[in-house]
């Protein structure tokens, strides 16, 4: 068909209430990620004929990519036109292609690469291993190219399941543009933009990835999925309005960014906002199969990581936990700066850290074995939380930044701690709220220890959930013990719990 021009887990865990130890200590600050290198000089090819053929045919675009070979090349696509795809455009190994919009029609609309009407459900763009694709602005107005999957238009775009809009096994750099319109994705480790493999890298400097959705599945992400050792550096731009399955049983599903299976994310700037799912804005996770792990094994190879240096993570919503950031299993998150604000979840409105060592009984709320406790008993003959932390830490280290104005319908409005590797070394935790326990911070069960140093916890609240309201600042259980070594100071003050709760009211600052 000739293309034509167009214009235009287990929720009871957090209720468990046994002995918790609060230890004050800290770690050092990791180095910030390096800035992206400058773009190389490029030859320029035009995917249009001035005064004659203004739109960019897919076949012509493929010809130009082939013509470029291994020479760094900029391909210009005219404004006011739509390149209609019925097949995947491949950036082959060895190629270094930059796609830009350019003004060829006065007072016209932007440049678009879109899925054509019909039954094509594959990726619009694929970047092979050893290839590089850059999306930039060629007009000077900063708009760039819109890449639209159009899967929301079910009356004309047919299909029950769609592939990622852009699949990257090489390198993608986004300096401008918008990626939108993905729907009906369900495979694990996939999102609208999927970065897959140890040689795959995504750098987001500017532009927007927004309004992409998944229809189900587990351990996927609506907007961006990083998997199998892939890396991403976010220096700017926006990732927003992604929707994954909003269910407490849709394990691992994230609305914004999913960091899976040993992938690595660094955020130096930009905004993640209004993403929803099992986890909200970001899920950093790898669920180990404990039957395949032995004491002394190095699990760092599959450990998913995030370093948050600056930027904003806001207005996320999680059905399970972690409206801002969820840290699940063999995962490691370091926060050096930035703000996590106005996120909401059942547990851990701002941040949730969960290592899968212990679960809670759904009725008695007592500890029951989970992956970690079963594993340590099998290999050591007894429960040893520290041994499990070595292989599946769910680590959260806060060296700076702010966790403010987040909320939880159950526990941990600011930070929910179900891990022995949470170190709050510095930063502000303020104005968070929980309907039940731990407006600022919640620490679950006697098996867990939280570590605090140079941290300000203030003006948080356990709001009236109608039954209990305990631990406005920090919730440790009424019978818990605290071991505190304060050298640089920890401030916990001006937190509150309401006296209107019908059953219990304990501990404005610490309970």
Apex 319 CA angle, 358 and 385, nearest 5: 15
Non-local CB neighbours of 382 within 8 Å, separated by 6+ positions = 376
- pLDDT of 389 over the 90 cut: yes
Identify the residue with better confidence: 510 or 352: 352
Identify the residue with better confidence: 456 or 389: 389
| pLDDT at res. 463 | 53
The C-alpha torsion from 317 through 323 and 327 to 328, rounded to 10°, is -40
Residues of the chain above pLDDT 70, percent: 79
31: buried, middle or exposed (CB in 10 Å: 19+, 13-18, 0-12)?
A: exposed
Apex 195 CA angle, 194 and 198, nearest 5: 155
pLDDT per residue as tens digits for the range 71-93: 999 999 998 889 999 999 999 99
Q: How far is CA 341 from CA 167, 285, 291, 354, in A?
A: 31, 21, 38, 20
- As a whole number, mean pLDDT of residues 272-296 equals 96
| pLDDT at res. 364 | 65
Phi-psi bin for 433: left (phi > 0), alpha (psi -120 to 50), beta?
beta
Cα(191)–Cα(92) distance, integer angstroms: 21
| pLDDT at res. 447 | 82
- As a whole number, mean pLDDT of residues 279-299 equals 95
- pLDDT of 304 over the 80 cut: yes
User: Per mean pLDDT, which range of 173-177, 392-396, 407-411, 464-468 is the poorest?
Assistant: 464-468
- Band of pLDDT at residue 494, cut at 50, 70 and 90: very low
Contact in structure between 268 and 237 (CB atoms under 8 Å)? no
- As a whole number, mean pLDDT of residues 442-471 equals 63
Instruction: State the SS3 of 146-160.
Output: EEECCCCCCCCECCC
- As a whole number, mean pLDDT of residues 404-411 equals 94
Contact in structure between 110 and 139 (CB atoms under 8 Å)? no
Mean pLDDT, rounded, of the chain: 85
Structure tokens that stand for 231 in this block = 């890396």
Non-local CB neighbours of 451 within 8 Å, separated by 6+ positions = 22, 23, 24, 25, 26, 422, 423, 424
pTM of the model: 0.88
- pLDDT of 286 over the 60 cut: yes
- pLDDT of 493 over the 60 cut: no
Residues of the chain above pLDDT 90, percent: 67
- As a whole number, mean pLDDT of residues 52-81 equals 93
Cα within 13 Å of Cα(400), Cβ side: 11
Q: How far is CA 462 from CA 171, 322, 348, in A?
A: 46, 17, 13
**Which of 182, 242, 178, 185 minimizes the C-alpha distance to 204?**
178
Q: DSSP 3-state assignment of 407?
A: strand
Structure tokens that stand for 509 in this block = 């600052």
- As a whole number, mean pLDDT of residues 57-78 equals 97
**Which of 331, 222, 206, 207 minimizes the C-alpha distance to 274?**
222
29: buried, middle or exposed (CB in 10 Å: 19+, 13-18, 0-12)?
A: middle
Query: What is the residue whose two structure tokens read 């079910």?
Result: 154
pLDDT per residue as tens digits for the range 360-383: 766 666 788 899 999 999 999 999
Is residue 449 within a helix (H) or strand (E), and if so which, with residue range? strand 449-452
| pLDDT at res. 511 | 36
- As a whole number, mean pLDDT of residues 491-505 equals 44
- pLDDT of 124 over the 80 cut: yes
- As a whole number, mean pLDDT of residues 128-144 equals 94
**Which of 233, 307, 303 minimizes the C-alpha distance to 263?**
303
Cross-strand pairs, 22: 450
pLDDT per residue as tens digits for the range 144-161: 999 999 999 999 999 999
| pLDDT at res. 36 | 42
Cα(295)–Cα(287) distance, integer angstroms: 17
- pLDDT of 336 over the 60 cut: yes
For residue 386, report the phi and psi dihedrals to the nearest 5 degrees: -65, -30
Identify the residue with better confidence: 434 or 478: 434
Query: What is the residue whose two structure tokens read 């600050």?
Result: 29
pLDDT per residue as tens digits for the range 305-317: 999 999 999 999 9
């Amino acid at each position: 068909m000739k293309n034509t021009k167009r214009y235009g887990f287990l929720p009871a865990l957090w209720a468990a209430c046994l002995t918790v130890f609060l230890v004050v200590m800290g770690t050092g600050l990791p180095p910030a990620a390096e800035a992206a290198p400058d773009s190389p000089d490029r030859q320029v090819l035009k995917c249009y004929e001035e005064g004659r053929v203004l739109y960019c045919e897919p076949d012509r675009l493929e010809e130009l990519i082939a013509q470029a070979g291994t020479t760094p090349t900029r391909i210009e696509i005219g404004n006011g036109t739509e390149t209609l795809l019925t097949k995947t455009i491949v950036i082959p190994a060895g190629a270094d292609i930059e796609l830009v919009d350019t003004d060829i029609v006065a007072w016209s609309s932007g440049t678009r690469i879109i899925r054509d009407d019909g039954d094509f459900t594959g990726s619009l763009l694929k970047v092979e291993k050893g290839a590089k694709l850059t999306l930039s602005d060629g007009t000077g107005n900063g708009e760039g190219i819109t890449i639209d999957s159009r899967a929301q238009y079910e009356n004309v775009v047919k299909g029950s399941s769609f592939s990622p809009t852009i699949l990257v096994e090489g390198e993608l750099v986004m300096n401008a543009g918008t990626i939108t319109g993905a729907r009906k994705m369900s495979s694990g480790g996939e999102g609208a933009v999927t970065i897959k493999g140890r040689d795959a890298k995504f750098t987001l400097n500017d532009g927007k990835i927004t309004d992409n959705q998944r229809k189900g599945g587990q351990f996927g992400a609506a907007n961006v999925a990083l998997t199998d050792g892939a890396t991403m550096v976010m220096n700017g731009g926006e990732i927003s309005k992604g929707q994954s399955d909003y269910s407490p049983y849709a394990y691992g599903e994230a609305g914004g960014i999913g960091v899976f299976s040993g992938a690595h994310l660094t955020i130096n700037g930009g905004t993640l906002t209004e993403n929803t799912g099992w986890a909200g804005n970001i899920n950093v996770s790898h669920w180990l199969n404990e039957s395949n792990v032995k004491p002394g094994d190095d699990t760092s190879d599959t450990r998913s990581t995030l370093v948050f240096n600056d930027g904003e993570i806001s207005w996320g919503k999680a059905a399970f936990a972690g409206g801002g950031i969820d840290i699940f299993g063999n995962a490691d998150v370091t926060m050096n700066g930035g703000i996590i604000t106005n996120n909401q979840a059942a547990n851990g409105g701002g941040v949730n850290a969960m290592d899968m060592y212990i679960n809670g009984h759904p009725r008695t709320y007592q500890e029951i074995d989970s992956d970690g406790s079963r594993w340590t008993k099998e290999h050591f003959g007894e429960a040893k939380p520290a041994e499990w932390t070595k292989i599946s830490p769910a680590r959260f280290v806060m060296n700076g930044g702010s966790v403010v104005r987040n909320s939880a319908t159950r526990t941990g409005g600011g930070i929910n701690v179900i891990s022995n590797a949470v170190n709050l070394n510095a930063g502000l935790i303020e104005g968070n709220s929980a309907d039940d326990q731990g407006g600022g911070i919640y620490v679950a069960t006697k098996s867990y220890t939280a570590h605090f140093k140079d941290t300000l916890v203030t003006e948080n609240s356990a709001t009236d959930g109608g039954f209990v309201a305990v631990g406005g600042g920090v919730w440790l259980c009424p019978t818990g013990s605290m071991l505190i070594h304060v050298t640089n100071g920890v401030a916990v003050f001006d937190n509150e719990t309401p006296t209107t709760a019908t059953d219990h009211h304990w501990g404005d600052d610490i309970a």
